[in-house]
Amino acid sequence: MANLGKMLRAVGAVIFGVALASSALAQSTSPPSGSAPAQQQSTPPTQQAPATAAAPQQQATATPRKRPPATPRPHTEPTREDLILGSYGPYRSNNKLVSYALDLRVDPDKQVIAGKNTVTFRMLQDGARIQIDLHPQLNIDKILLGTTELKYTRDSGAVFIDFPETLKSGETYAIDFHYSGHPLTAARFGGFTFGKDPQGRPWIYTADEDIGASVWWPNKQQWRDEPEGMTLHIAVPNGLMDVSNGKFMGSKDLGDGYTRWDWQVHYPINNYDVALNIGKYEHFSDQLGDLSLDFYVLPEDLDKAKKQFAQAKGMIQAYNHYFGEYPFEKDGYKLVEVPYSGMEHQSAVSYGNHFKNGYLEHDWTGVGVSLKFDFIIIHESGHEWFGNSITANDRADMWIHEGWTTYLECLYVEYTFGYDDALKYTNGYKSHVDNVEPIIAERGINATPPQDMYFKGALMLNTLRYVINDDKKWWALLHDLYQHFKYKNIDTEDVVKYFNDNTGMFLTPIFDQYLRHTAIPTLELKFNDADGTVEYRWKADVPDFAMPIRVGTKDKWEIIHPTTYSQVMKTPLKKNQFDVATDLYYVNVDKSDGVATGPLAPPNQ
């Protein structure tokens, strides 16, 4: 999700967390005002339409939060590892993944892992070398093509594998990559953590979006190429259970004190979504139509989980309404308890939000809406649609995961609690935006975008709703965009082109201003009371920036079409009466007095 923890970075806590420590969050959010009443967890309204399909013409006020002024992160040159792992080089691009088959034994006492990953791939051009990645801390025991042991070279986390003969374009091959060792405990929540639950039992888990999945298993560690599916066979000591991605295929007592847990993923999956969750889990289940819902929690938390996890049905119904059916029906939907707040592991969403509403029991957006629902269930599960089903080609475009999923939260609120709450909730995110770095980072260098990809990304999408100014068209656009890109890996340019092609509007300058520049657009208004006019124009970085916006009074909005050139309109309103619908559009407004000075719009505008 990207995830929860990364969002918290937005308010001055740990950068990009899958989850954050509650103490860090407490320093940056308002104290909780109490849990949401039980009736607020009820099933959402009928699927016929959102709670309010047409936006009423009224403004909602979000309570601002005061934070220290944000500063850009220090610039650092990409390391050799960043360049090797971040680029889609010739030994990645010459092949296409078909499947992974991960077979792994986990020893909690020695804190080591050992096993193999069978990597099946199809060559896209003739070649005798491919790149697979594995963290330097782990040992390579051998790499086999059939019975032939292959030579390899290690460099900054990359493993360049050489074949004795040229692999032919169009042909499919499989290698067995055997490895072992003590995986690194680092990054957000450990990468691969050998931990203990509150009762002192082994509790082992993975969370590696930041550091990369190769911290514990060999894979093609990039986002552009995903296998068509995979299997996981995870052996753990008897009495423990592994919960991983995909459909549960059964368990087998191996007769040596270990039990193997088998899972099958039927859909494309990105590498950081692959997860192990090993512990003394209790399982309970539910059903939503043909979709199986499975929940895994520690025995002590079973009663709390049965109550709190009831929200999962309403969440899925809301997202189904806007985007279409849950994308991984063959694999089912799972919530798995973990000791960190959450992560969007595909079909096995990690959950650690204390079985309480809000985010770690806090009112996340500070406007009285967050405590009506469990933030982790709603946000991390939203990534099943954006991040897991639709995935960015490069982490530099991670707003496709995080901006969209943050906007999905707003849609969930609108569907479940109504338009007014959704507008308050959306505007509550303004206080989290820094506006000190562009949202899109540099591609090809393993770069991580700033936290604004969450909140500013969502606010941009909300702004586009009112730019399009037709909710029926907006809902259809969201649904059809998702369906068009489902199970695909895309760039920002793909999203922009789809919007342009399917709205009949040229929205590229709007996307560019919000995603590729630091500042948001400012509507400059200059009032001339003597002749009852106001001069207006956009101040923006994009030269051809143009965006319609509602002005006037909230009971009688008028849509104007400013550009970066000045235009003049008649108005009976004085400066203090003339309003701008800043709850609908994420913009700044600068009002002043004076005579129009231009530059005036060209005659053809």
**For 379, phi and psi rounded to 5 degrees?**
-75, -55
pLDDT for the residue 38? 29
- The SS3 call for residue 535 is strand
pLDDT tens-digit readout, 481-494 = 999 999 999 999 99
Confidence of residue 597 (pLDDT cuts 50, 70, 90): low
Amino acid at 245: N
Whether the CB-CB separation of 13 and 24 falls below 8 Å is answered with yes
Amino acid at 365: T
457 pLDDT higher than 80: yes
pLDDT for the residue 70? 79
Domains and CATH numbers, the chain: 4-76+341-516 (1.10.390.10), 80-281 (2.60.40.1730), 522-593 (2.60.40)
Residue 497 CB coordination number (10 Å) = 14
**For 38, phi and psi rounded to 5 degrees?**
-60, -35
Q: Average pLDDT for residues 316-333, to the nearest whole number?
A: 98
Whether the CB-CB separation of 314 and 295 falls below 8 Å is answered with no
Q: Whole-angstrom distance between the N-terminal and C-terminal Cα of the chain?
A: 43
pLDDT for the residue 445? 95
How far is C-alpha 571 from the geometric centre of its chain's CA atoms? Answer: 44
Residue predicted with more confidence, 186 or 563: 563
Q: Average pLDDT for residues 352-358, to the nearest whole number?
A: 98
pLDDT tens-digit readout, 362-388 = 999 999 999 999 999 999 999 999 999
pLDDT tens-digit readout, 61-87 = 344 445 666 788 888 899 999 999 999
Whether the CB-CB separation of 311 and 304 falls below 8 Å is answered with no
Tokens encoding 416: 């479940």
Whether the CB-CB separation of 32 and 411 falls below 8 Å is answered with no
pLDDT tens-digit readout, 134-175 = 999 999 999 999 999 999 999 999 999 999 999 999 999 999
CA distances from residue 215 to 44, 204, 226, 241, 465 in whole angstroms, order as listed: 41, 15, 18, 22, 40
186 pLDDT higher than 80: no
Q: Average pLDDT for residues 454-464, to the nearest whole number?
A: 98
4 pLDDT higher than 90: no
How far is C-alpha 29 from the geometric centre of its chain's CA atoms? Answer: 21
510 pLDDT higher than 60: yes
Residue 79 CB coordination number (10 Å) = 13
Whether the CB-CB separation of 330 and 266 falls below 8 Å is answered with yes
pLDDT for the residue 66? 52
Q: What is the pTM for the complete model shown?
A: 0.89
Tokens encoding 434: 């820094």
> What size, in residues, is the chain?
605
Tokens encoding 505: 């509007």
Q: Average pLDDT for residues 431-448, to the nearest whole number?
A: 96
95 pLDDT higher than 90: yes
Residue 8 CB coordination number (10 Å) = 30
pLDDT for the residue 43? 29
Query: What is the residue whose two structure tokens read 């969209």?
Result: 404
Whether the CB-CB separation of 539 and 517 falls below 8 Å is answered with no
Whether the CB-CB separation of 339 and 360 falls below 8 Å is answered with no
pLDDT for the residue 158? 98
pLDDT for the residue 68? 63
Of 65, 44, 584, give the one whose Cα is nearest residue 363. Answer: 65
Which DSSP symbol is given to 75?
A: P
As a whole-number percent, the residues of the chain with pLDDT over 70 amount to 86
pLDDT for the residue 600? 64
Cα–Cα dist 403/457, whole Å:
4
Confidence of residue 585 (pLDDT cuts 50, 70, 90): very high
Buried b (16+ CB within 10 A) or exposed e, 146-176: eeeebebeeeebbbbbebeeebeeeeebebb
260 pLDDT higher than 80: yes
Confidence of residue 15 (pLDDT cuts 50, 70, 90): very low
Buried b (16+ CB within 10 A) or exposed e, 260-290: bbbbbbebbbbbbbbbbbbbebbeeeeeeee
